[in-house]
A and B are shown apart, each in its own frame.
With several copies, the nearest count.
Chain A
Amino acid sequence: MPVKSYIQAITLALREEMERDEKVFVLGEDVGVRGGVFRATEGLYEQFGSERVLDTPLAESAIAGVGIGAAMYGMRPIAEMQFADFIMPAVNQIISEAAKIRYRSNNDWSCPITIRAPYGGGVHGALYHSQSIESVFANQPGLKIVMPSTPYDVKGLLKSAIRDEDPVLFLEHKRAYRLIKGEVPDEDYTLPIGKADVKREGSDITVITYGLCVHFALQAADKLEAEGIDAHILDLRTVYPLDKEAIIEAASKTGKVLLITEDNLEGSIIGEVAAIISEHCLFDLDAPIKRLAGPDVPSMPYAPPLEKEFMVNPDKVEKAMRDLAEF
């Protein structure tokens, strides 16, 4: 199977879906001639033209809102937010509109839009080019939030998002774009939104996480194996709505659970994961649930030592996993 980077998998999924369905189109800032500031839409403008790869004015609420209108009409828009941090002006369109269109119209109208946004830190982006923003949206029934970790998942899940009948927020870890590579089949395939994925089978401790941290956990697990610690790793993939069964199963399996997010701790996705576990498998636990996350400060600073202090990294993950195993 060909090996591709995370961002190549994105471009590939976009291209294949645009080839497959004429209603699919891309809109956003600099997505056209420039191919996106990260190059996620590279080559699409050349292949599909300016009408299907739309450079929009600099206005996120319009990018989301115009996309929503087009989706209600019957198109399949893929709106790009240049950085996830800049999705904030579009919150009203996403929460008040996209998420509620089917429900409020009693199933008369629907809104099959995909909104892509690069999130996450470790790229010297400082406060406003590093944030995890999923928790702002992870309480909005009607919306789905997908955050894949591998190129394989990216391709399959982005295709599912585009074909989904409902709005999907598709969050891409920008540090993973070129760092993470993996096998990606040339064939057309989709992966189910709403399903977590066991990335490693293990029996001593359970790690539940998503995005870049999945890789940190996998690396740490390889190291810890030598020490006789066998980690079970569940990749949430869809962070809203959560895959409760998979979470319960993974937590029950080892009775020792570590939850990891790159987001600030308080109010992050993994709080809900902890709540699900404590509601459903409390008596299967052999240790308190552990959480590893960014600190509760607004976002990561720019200066390298400060950014490093903020970021979850393989060392911190390894230590947390070992501590839990030794509990």
Chain B
Amino acid sequence: MVKVDRKKKVIEQRHEQLGLNDEQVLDMYRNMLLARRIDERMYLLNRAGKIPFVVSCQGQEPGQVGAAFALDKEKDYALPYYRDLGVVLTFGMTTKDLFLQAFAKAEDPNSGGRQMPGHFGQKKNRIVTGSSPVTTQVPHAVGIALGAKMEKKDFVSFVTFGEGSSNQGDFHEGANFAAVHKLPVIFMVENNQYAISVPLSKQVACEKISDRAIGYGMPGITVDGNDPLAVYEAVKDAVTNARNGHGPTLIEVVSYRLLAHSSDDDDRSYRSKEEVDEAKEKDGIITFATYLRETNVLTEEIEVKLNDEIKSLIDDATDYAEKAPYADAKSIYKHVYAE
């Protein structure tokens, strides 16, 4: 018994040591679970022919939510990439908002149905509008951080992208600019091992994507993306540095893309079921739930309630979004320029 207790103590200390209370880690868990369930529902809707496209977050939610919790949702800016359901949910986008975008309806706050799903943007929550060409958001994040420096505000700008995308010129140019001008940016690479069909080994020859940091003169760190607390800690440190004027950090969050690249992709042609199954065993949502149960934060009662809450949120949102109207066809002529 002594043994068990000791282990439990150590475990408990993990989130407390990071300054997170039980409610907060429960919230973290809720958001990653919500992201997962939303994604699952969208896949169902897609397979049922109700929405044309899904690009999945599955496998990356723990890192996304862990990171987003280290930011200040009242002032920091997020420049998420298409898989970042966990980030945008934490930054205040609602389940309903997300289904409205999946159904491309007029009320979709991201784009009013103009963009594909996964192209996030919501000014009131400081979620910066994104596009499809990968990595263009990196210099934008740097520009926003430049705004912070020029206006002497203490917000940070947080930008994410895939490991494949870290090979684009815009990553290099943006990272270098931020380092030279010591700007408050957190660059987070979500390394899920693939860029569509191309495995990591054909994308880069370096050992870690975070090895790129030294070439810009900024700290670089690699963390386990299945461990939301580890990601929280790394981002928290980077945020502190950034707010204190010490410039940017490059954080690599290692995870695995559990599904195919998107609903249009079939991953069986380029990776084995065994590989995927192995990754599923390390699924951070499951291991985090175990941790929360072991630390008595997640009780059976809470779990039931949580699942119910999530289910009804998603049901309602699906319903609402499905019935919501499209934007008027003639609206396409609007908002090319300021009116």
Stretch at the interface among A99-107, A148-156, A312-320: A99-107
- Interface residue? B269 (CB, 8 A): yes
B-facing residues in A103-143 (Cβ within 8 Å):
103-110, 124-129, 141-142
Is there an interface contact between A88 and B133, defined as CB atoms closer than 8 Å?
A: yes
Q: Which residues of A contact B265 (CB under 8 A)?
A: 37
Residue in A57, A72, A142, A310 whose CB lies within 8 Å of B203: A57
Is there an interface contact between B336 and A296, defined as CB atoms closer than 8 Å?
A: yes
* A142/B114 contact (C-beta < 8 A), A59-B176, A73-B147, A96-B133 known: no
- Interface residue? A17 (CB, 8 A): no
Is there an interface contact between B196 and A30, defined as CB atoms closer than 8 Å?
A: yes
Q: Which residues of B contact A165 (CB under 8 A)?
A: 337-338
Is there an interface contact between A34 and B131, defined as CB atoms closer than 8 Å?
A: no
Is there an interface contact between B123 and A109, defined as CB atoms closer than 8 Å?
A: yes
Distance to closest chain B CB from A102 (angstroms): 5
Q: Which residues of A contact B195 (CB under 8 A)?
A: 29, 57-58
Is there an interface contact between A69 and B140, defined as CB atoms closer than 8 Å?
A: yes
Is there an interface contact between B129 and A104, defined as CB atoms closer than 8 Å?
A: yes
Residue in B53, B133, B164, B197 whose CB lies within 8 Å of A128: B133
Stretch at the interface among B86-94, B103-111, B244-252: B103-111
* A69/B131 contact (C-beta < 8 A), A55-B197, A59-B169, A301-B114 known: no
A-facing residues in B95-113 (Cβ within 8 Å):
104-105, 108-113
- What does the 1/0 interface line of B46-59 toward A look like (CB < 8 Å)? 00000011000000
Q: Which residues of A contact B108 (CB under 8 A)?
A: 106
Q: Which residues of A contact B264 (CB under 8 A)?
A: 37
Q: Which residues of B contact A219 (CB under 8 A)?
A: none
Distance to closest chain B CB from A18 (angstroms): 12
Residue in A32, A51, A55, A107 whose CB lies within 8 Å of B335: A107
Stretch at the interface among A60-68, A221-229, A248-256: A60-68
Among residues of A, the one whose C-beta sits closest to the C-beta of B338 is A165
Is there an interface contact between A58 and B332, defined as CB atoms closer than 8 Å?
A: no
Q: Which residues of A contact B142 (CB under 8 A)?
A: 62, 65-66, 69
Is there an interface contact between B333 and A297, defined as CB atoms closer than 8 Å?
A: yes
Is there an interface contact between A96 and B131, defined as CB atoms closer than 8 Å?
A: yes
Q: Which residues of B contact A267 (CB under 8 A)?
A: none
Is there an interface contact between A108 and B123, defined as CB atoms closer than 8 Å?
A: yes
- Interface residue? A306 (CB, 8 A): yes
Is there an interface contact between A73 and B143, defined as CB atoms closer than 8 Å?
A: yes
Q: Which residues of B contact A298 (CB under 8 A)?
A: 336
* A297/B336 contact (C-beta < 8 A), A33-B270, A73-B147 known: yes
Is there an interface contact between A127 and B337, defined as CB atoms closer than 8 Å?
A: no
Is there an interface contact between B113 and A69, defined as CB atoms closer than 8 Å?
A: no
Q: Which residues of B contact A297 (CB under 8 A)?
A: 332-333, 336
Is there an interface contact between B270 and A34, defined as CB atoms closer than 8 Å?
A: yes
Is there an interface contact between A126 and B114, defined as CB atoms closer than 8 Å?
A: yes
**Cα–Cα distance between A71 and B330 once the two chains are bound (Å):** 29
- What does the 1/0 interface line of A300-324 toward B look like (CB < 8 Å)? 1111111011100000000000000
Is there an interface contact between B173 and A61, defined as CB atoms closer than 8 Å?
A: yes
Is there an interface contact between A68 and B139, defined as CB atoms closer than 8 Å?
A: yes
Distance to closest chain B CB from A131 (angstroms): 10
Among residues of B, the one whose C-beta sits closest to the C-beta of A308 is B329
**Cα–Cα distance between A302 and B55 once the two chains are bound (Å):** 15
Among residues of B, the one whose C-beta sits closest to the C-beta of A87 is B133
Is there an interface contact between B143 and A71, defined as CB atoms closer than 8 Å?
A: yes
Is there an interface contact between B329 and A306, defined as CB atoms closer than 8 Å?
A: yes
Is there an interface contact between A58 and B165, defined as CB atoms closer than 8 Å?
A: yes
Is there an interface contact between A70 and B121, defined as CB atoms closer than 8 Å?
A: no
Is there an interface contact between B202 and A61, defined as CB atoms closer than 8 Å?
A: no
Looking at B115, B143, B169, B270, the one whose CB has the most chain A CB atoms below 10 A away is B143
- Interface residue? B119 (CB, 8 A): yes
Q: What are 19 A-B contacts with C-beta separation under 8 Å? A: A29-B198, A30-B197, A34-B196, A57-B177, A57-B198, A73-B77, A93-B136, A104-B115, A105-B121, A108-B109, A124-B116, A126-B114, A300-B332, A301-B114, A301-B332, A302-B104, A306-B113, A306-B326, A306-B329
5 tightest A-B CB contacts, nearest first: A69-B143, A65-B139, A128-B132, A69-B140, A106-B112
Given A83-B132, A104-B114, 13 more contacts at CB 8 Å?
A57-B203, A59-B177, A61-B173, A64-B139, A68-B139, A93-B136, A97-B136, A106-B110, A107-B335, A128-B133, A305-B326, A306-B327, A309-B329
